[in-house]
Amino acid sequence: MRRTSARMADGREIIYFDEDDTAPTRTAVDLRDLPPRDPRPEMRCDPFTGEWVGIAAHRQSRTYKPPADACPLCPSRPGRPSEIPESDYDVVVFENRFPSFAQDLPTTPSVVLERDGEPLVTSFPAAGHCEVVCFTSDHTTSFGQLPVRRVRTVVDAWADRTAALSEMPGVEQVYCFENRGEEIGVTLHHPHGQIYGYPFVTPRTARHLETAAPYLIENGRHLVGDILAAERAAQTRVIRSGEHWTAFVPPAARWPVEVQLVPHRPVPDLPALSNDERDEFAEIYLDVLGRLDRLYDRPLPYIAGWHQAPVRTDREFAWLRMELFSVLRGPDRLKYLAGSESGMGVWIGDATPEQTAERLRALG
């Protein structure tokens, strides 16, 4: 694989990941007349929960469901410049033009709410980083239809960017993810994902670590490792298993369709994966995605993302895993997060994890 870095017209970095080392050098120049970038994302801590909330009002003007011939993620062509100056590409990553978190922000916080001169809520600059990952130049395909080699290249790109973002000032956690389908909220249909460099450890990760840390200290074993060993022994919820990875429906799944892909050894993040582990993940993940699209005989909308260790803290307690879930509970039925889920955070499942796993196994 060859990696080439360049700059876009407004100064953002763009990186090409080419599978063929002998391919022509990437020399295309972004000639668009783009306005100066001045994103001002902020974050405020919810005084009731202690959780951070990001606010990025500038994202209201981001591109929304353009026609295919005006897709900003397709390669550029004469008279139709896009975010990618080249006429073709394998995998490309670039800085998000409408970031939820950004670098080089003003450092001065501002008080939003106070009582008797004491701040109750303060707004801080959301100093992180956001990138877009284009999986292919083909607008009409999907991640699940990519060849194994391309998925392997995407894994390498994820690992490369995780390592790079982990070195950026203020970034505390890196999240690589894909949103697929309008039911999820996708506004660009070109196959792509995103990478967030958060300026804090996310609430879900913090909660996971609060459970994993005492378990490891008390038992001398990782909680994820014990769950994985038990799932592989029981086989009740396992969909597919290999030498290095197992895909299974978690025993307390929240979503109508939910799958976790877990490596068989404790690695904290994507850069720590071996070549063999990356190779096998590509093959098993494509198999899982194929089953999911056959589940309702239609393209399944989903969110897929990597749970990685925080950049600087508690890495010894973390165990990398991919989580994929869908809001679809039937061919034409959505799982709405209504009163109990949205209001109280109490999830009600529409099928048992065992039933879901049995259906997915049968689709192999």
Range of the domain at 323: 203-362
Instruction: Give the pLDDT score at 62.
Output: 76
Weakest-pLDDT range from 251-260, 319-328, 332-341: 332-341
Does the annotation flag 130 for ligand binding?
A: no
Confidence of residue 9 (pLDDT cuts 50, 70, 90): very high
Mean pLDDT, the chain, as a whole number? Answer: 96
Catalytic residue among 58, 129, 189, 192: 192
Please write the tens of the pLDDT for every residue from 194-206.
999 999 999 999 9
Among residues 163, 198, 233, the one where a domain terminates is 198
- Residue 54 near residue 43, CB atoms below 8 Å: yes
Does the annotation flag 208 for ligand binding?
A: no
Does the annotation flag 176 for ligand binding?
A: no
Alpha helices for the chain (secondary structure H)? 148-166, 203-219, 223-234, 275-295, 353-362
Asked whether residue 233 falls in the same domain as residue 158, the answer is: no
- 192 included as an active-site residue: yes
Does the annotation flag 45 for ligand binding?
A: no
Please write the tens of the pLDDT for every residue from 114-173.
999 999 999 999 999 999 999 999 999 999 999 999 999 999 999 999 999 999 999 999
Average pLDDT over residues 58-87: 91
Asked whether residue 104 falls in the same domain as residue 210, the answer is: no
Asked whether residue 239 falls in the same domain as residue 350, the answer is: yes
Strand order in the sheet with 110-115: 52-55, 42-45, 118-125, 110-115
Average pLDDT over residues 201-217: 98
Asked whether residue 189 falls in the same domain as residue 209, the answer is: no
Determine the Cα–Cα distance for residues 4 and 6; give it in Å rounded to an integer: 7
Query: What percent of the chain has a predicted confidence (pLDDT) above 70?
Result: 100
The β-bridge partners of 195 are: 131, 176
Asked whether residue 192 falls in the same domain as residue 225, the answer is: no
Average pLDDT over residues 16-22: 94
Weakest-pLDDT range from 34-48, 58-72, 168-182, 244-258: 58-72
> How many structural domains does the chain have?
2
Q: How far is CA 156 from CA 62, 110, 126, 150, 240, in A?
A: 28, 40, 27, 10, 22
Instruction: Give the pLDDT score at 65.
Output: 86
Confidence of residue 59 (pLDDT cuts 50, 70, 90): confident
Tokens representing residue 360 in the block? 């997915």
H/E element holding 330?
strand 328-330
Domain at 133, CATH number: 3.30.428.10
Predicted TM-score (pTM) of this structure: 0.96
Residue 58, Cβ density class (10 Å: 0-12 exposed, 13-18 middle, ≥19 buried): middle
Instruction: Give the pLDDT score at 331.
Output: 95
Instruction: Give the pLDDT score at 38.
Output: 82
